[in-house]
Amino acid sequence: MLLRDLLDDAVETAPPAAPLDVDTLYRAATRRRRTLAAARAAPVFALVAALVATLLVTRGGDRPDPYTGPAEGRQWPAVVWAGAADARHLYATLRECRDCDVVIRGSDDGGRTWTTRSEADLARGELNEPVPDDAWIDGLLGNEMRFTPSGGIVLGATVEARAPSTDGAGLAAIGSTDGARTWRPLYRTDTPIAAAPHDSVLRCTNDITGAGRQDGCVVDVLDPFVGTFAPLANQPPLRADSVRRFPDGTTWVTGTDRATGHPAVAVSPDLGLTWQPHVFTEVPPRDPNTARYDLSVATRDGSSANVTIAAPEGAAAWVFMRSRADAWSGGVMAGGTGGPLVGSYLAAGDAHVVITHDTAPEPSAKATYGAGVLPPRPDRLTYRIGEPGRPYRELTGPAFETGNPVVVTRDDRYVTFNRWVLLISDDGADWRTVPIR
């Protein structure tokens, strides 16, 4: 499953039977045990060393950063997911050890202080509703959080949408309205919603029926304040694959035109009441059930946007620009993307960043981006930036070595994470680390 699907689509598969084995995802990078042993033997020296280490982390120096450290050393605690509602309200889910439950940590002051908000056992008790098992709720807390404008939080489960039942099968999501301290179940209702409330989250949810799978997904409205989720009454006029609502309230749905097979988008400026569809006839049609295109929307204001369209194999790609007046321009991206499209965003100065999952069979395989040639490396995410009037070039640095996509918050901050820290940027190019304590 592509990371773009984790960001934009409702999850479709059955829940894992056991907690995530993050030992396969994270490798050791610091010598924590030796540091702790030295601290016990020489407290004064440890205090001085800690102060020096703090200065090195914040100001740079010869000490390796957590994401580039040596292979041996600390493995735990490990970050499963981290993100932000805005510059002040930060969240992370951690595992203290391989077999430990997921713990949610939160900060209300931009990362200066952190507190434990929820644990798997705690959340199970708070729900006070039947849930499948401990492993299910543990895995649920490790998913990506979605935030409403006022700070409500929704966590979607890895189950299909179905009617509530006594065994918890209908518990497809949980919500929090107090900063992840307590949670409530969100159950599906069949009464459509005319327009999404401002303080809600949108998800693209596959129906349990086979016909639903073949016809794309249903745009659902999840409301952590009411405790329900329900479909929009006026669904977008295309075979939907993903939905994203941006901070100004504009909603974008990507997918395929049912009549022609061309990739398409639909934009709603009024919380789902009406839709403005656009079909990309410049792109050859495909059967979305066998070889659909990957689409990603990058926008800062919700109205003007860059839409990237890529064949799954990355051999061909297109970039189209939409103005606030719904005028479109654009065309072929030279050389394609080099791999499946994961996502995109607009950095400062309207620089367009495209994120791909490179899967070249040989490390020496090459693809052309604009006027340059880059060797894609397999099994990693690659970030390429296209600035106005310049060809796309690869971005390097700690934020682009994490293996995680970049998300833009409601106050226009860029956020990603690595195995131990949160990374935040004001412009999408220069990053600062925020330790998760």
pLDDT in tens, 395-423: 887 777 766 778 888 888 999 888 888 99
Q: What is the pLDDT of residue 216?
A: 81
239-250 burial: b if 16+ Cβ within 10 Å, else e: bbbbbbbbbeeb
DSSP3 helix / strand / coil % (the chain, rounded to 5): 15, 35, 50
- Facing residues of 103 across strands? 94, 119
Q: What is the pLDDT of residue 57?
A: 35
Q: What is the pLDDT of residue 74?
A: 58
pTM over 0.85? The answer is no
* d(C-alpha 157, C-alpha 228), whole Å: 14
Q: What is the pLDDT of residue 320?
A: 93
Which amino acid is it at 340?
P
- Is 328 within 8 Å of 321 (Cβ atoms)? yes
> What is the DSSP-derived secondary structure letter of residue 11?
P
Q: If you search the block for the tokens 């798997």, which residue do you land on?
A: 120
Q: What is the pLDDT of residue 172?
A: 62
Tokens of 148: 């409403």
- Is 332 within 8 Å of 344 (Cβ atoms)? no
Segments in the chain below pLDDT 70:
1-74, 119-143, 157-172, 206-214, 358-380, 402-403
> What is the DSSP-derived secondary structure letter of residue 320?
E
Q: How many CB atoms are located within 10 Å of the residue 121 CB?
A: 12
Contacts of 348 (CB under 8 A, 6+ apart): 426, 427, 428, 429
pLDDT (tens digit, 9 = 90+) per residue, 52-97? 333 333 333 332 233 333 334 557 788 888 899 999 999 998 888 8
Contacts of 144 (CB under 8 A, 6+ apart): 6, 7, 81, 83, 155
- Classify burial at 182, counting beta carbons within 10 Å of its beta carbon; exposed 0-12, middle 13-18, buried 19 or more: middle
Q: What is the pLDDT of residue 167?
A: 42
Determine the distance from the C-alpha atom of residue 154 to the mean position of all C-alpha atoms in its chain, rounded to a whole number: 13
